[in-house]
Each structure stands twice: as structure tokens, then as C-alpha cells.
């Protein structure tokens, strides 16, 4: 399994580094202080390419660390080339207090809407993205948040979806809810059990041989979206395990990027 995780303090420094590197690539970037020590690195496309769409991303790390590069800042050029504004958030770890990362995620979406005019984005075309445990955070926001904290679409890559014992990723579960979480709390934060007809459309990608997060997490979420009439796309690649992010060593790297690009152009 390929999975690089980085402590939050280091992640903050790496976001600052990414700002400098991206600036050298002529990608406009800005680091926003959401609430110390939470920072959001914002990468804007060239004005002539801008579509008005924005994606706010939450990398994975089991709710104990943040994989800022291959699941975070490395994606900026890909999205900016499509004219999509892109942001990466180094959200705080919950340590059993779920409200900490939820607050950071909601603040990031609100910040994007607040800066819509400045960043040349449509406040009604802001999506949330997440990898692994970051995918659980993204799907939690997609199924729970309302008003100006609610995303318009969601992109989930090999996500943790469920907090139910039979499906969840134990490490993520224990860090997010605590080892002694009640059945009621597990259900409340199992995204597959909280889908409604108002849940935003979704793109889900994973590998069928994922040994870290059970593939049934994604499948259960997809089925729930279908039952509620929510547009959703599910891509299950036959091999690649977990944690590939944007690494070109992933066998289906090019296909995955093409699939995501096609989906983004469909609405």
C-alpha cells in the first residue's frame, strides 16, 4: 500500500512551500488563514481559462495526519488547466472531537463563497473533495451541512464512508468519534445512512483490491445516492490498492484523470 501521511504542523509548512512552487509554475496561489493553525492554499486558474467552478479538497491521513502532496497540492495544475479554482485545507485532527474537522471544513466552504467575487468563482458551483478519511469528512459535509457551508458537488477518492463497525476504517473511526462511540453516533456519521434527495451529486473512485478501506464503503454510498435519486458516478478500478492520489505509478492514473475530467464536464 502506498500512503504517505504528514503531521499537521509539517503539512502547514508544505502548503506554504506549495504556494512558492506553484507561483513558479505561473499558477496563482494564495494561503488563507482560516483559524490558526488551519490554512487553506488556494490555486486560481488563469483568468482566460476560469470557468467559475471551485473545488475545496481535504486530503486523507486517518484523521491523525494529512497527506498534503499526492492527495493535495499536486492536483492544483490538473484542475487549473480545466479552468477550475482549487483549494487544499490542512484541517485540524479531531482526537475524538468530531466537531473540530467539521468546523474547519465548513469554514473553508464559507471562505470560498465569501471570496467568490475576488476569486472569480460562482458561489453556486463549489465542490468538496476528499481522499480516504478526508473523503469521510467531505461526505459528512455533503450529507450534513446546510446553507452557505453546503457544497454543490462532491468528489470522493477511496473514501471512508461508514462509521458502522462492519464497514468502517477502525483507525479513522476511533480518531473521529472515539473508541467507545455509541451505535447512535456511529449511525449519525455514517454517510451512507444520511443521504437525502438534497445531497449533492457525487463522483466516487476506488480500487476493488483496496486493503485499507473496504470497497463496500463506496458501494454502499453509491447505492444510497441512487435510492434517493442523486446523480452519482462510481469507478472501481480492478487493482491499485489505496493511497495512490495523483501518483503516476497508479496503473490507471491516466484513465482516472480522464474519467474525472469527463464527469466534471458533464454538468
Alpha carbons 29 and 96: distance in angstroms, whole number: 33
Amino acid 23: pLDDT: 39
Q: Model confidence at 9, in pLDDT bands (50, 70, 90)?
A: very low
- Cβ contact 112:99 at 8 Å: no
Amino acid 141: pLDDT: 98
What's the predicted TM-score (pTM) here? Answer: 0.90
Cis peptide before 20 (omega within 30 of 0): no
**Sign of the alpha-carbon dihedral angle for 15, 105, 29, 264:** positive
Q: At 169, list the grid cell.
A: 476504517
Alpha carbons 81 and 234: distance in angstroms, whole number: 24
Residue-wise pLDDT for 45-90, tens only, equals 999 999 999 999 999 999 999 998 999 999 999 999 999 999 999 9
Amino acid at each position: 500500500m502506498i500512503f504517505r501521511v504528514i503531521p499537521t504542523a509539517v503539512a502547514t509548512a508544505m502548503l506554504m512551500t506549495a504556494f512558492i512552487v506553484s507561483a513558479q509554475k505561473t499558477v496563482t496561489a494564495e494561503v488563507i488563514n482560516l483559524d490558526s493553525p488551519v490554512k487553506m492554499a488556494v490555486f486560481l486558474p488563469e483568468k482566460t481559462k476560469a470557468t467559475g467552478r471551485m473545488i475545496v479538497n481535504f486530503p486523507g491521513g486517518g484523521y491523525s495526519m494529512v497527506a498534503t502532496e499526492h492527495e493535495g497540492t499536486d492536483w492544483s495544475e490538473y484542475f487549473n488547466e480545466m479552468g477550475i479554482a482549487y483549494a487544499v485545507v490542512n484541517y485540524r485532527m479531531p482526537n475524538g472531537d468530531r466537531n473540530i474537522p467539521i468546523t474547519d471544513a465548513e469554514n473553508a466552504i464559507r471562505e470560498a463563497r465569501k471570496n467568490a467575487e475576488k476569486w472569480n468563482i460562482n458561489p453556486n458551483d463549489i465542490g468538496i473533495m476528499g481522499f480516504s478519511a478526508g473523503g469521510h469528512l467531505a461526505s459528512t459535509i455533503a450529507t450534513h451541512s446546510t446553507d452557505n457551508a453546503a457544497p454543490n458537488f462532491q468528489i470522493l477518492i477511496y473514501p471512508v464512508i461508514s462509521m458502522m463497525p462492519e464497514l468502517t476504517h477502525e483507525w479513522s473511526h476511533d480518531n473521529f468519534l472515539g473508541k467507545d462511540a455509541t451505535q447512535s453516533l456511529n449511525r449519525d456519521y455514517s454517510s451512507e445512512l444520511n443521504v437525502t434527495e438534497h445531497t449533492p451529486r457525487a463522483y466516487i473512485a476506488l480500487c476493488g483490491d483496496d486493503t485499507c478501506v473496504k470497497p463496500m464503503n463506496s458501494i454502499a454510498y453509491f447505492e444510497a445516492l441512487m435510492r434517493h435519486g442523486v446523480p452519482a458516478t462510481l469507478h472501481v478500478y480492478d487493482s491499485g490498492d489505496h493511497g495512490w492520489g495523483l501518483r503516476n505509478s497508479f496503473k490507471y492514473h491516466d484513465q482516472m484523470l480522464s474519467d474525472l475530467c469527463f464527469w466534471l464536464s458533464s454538468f
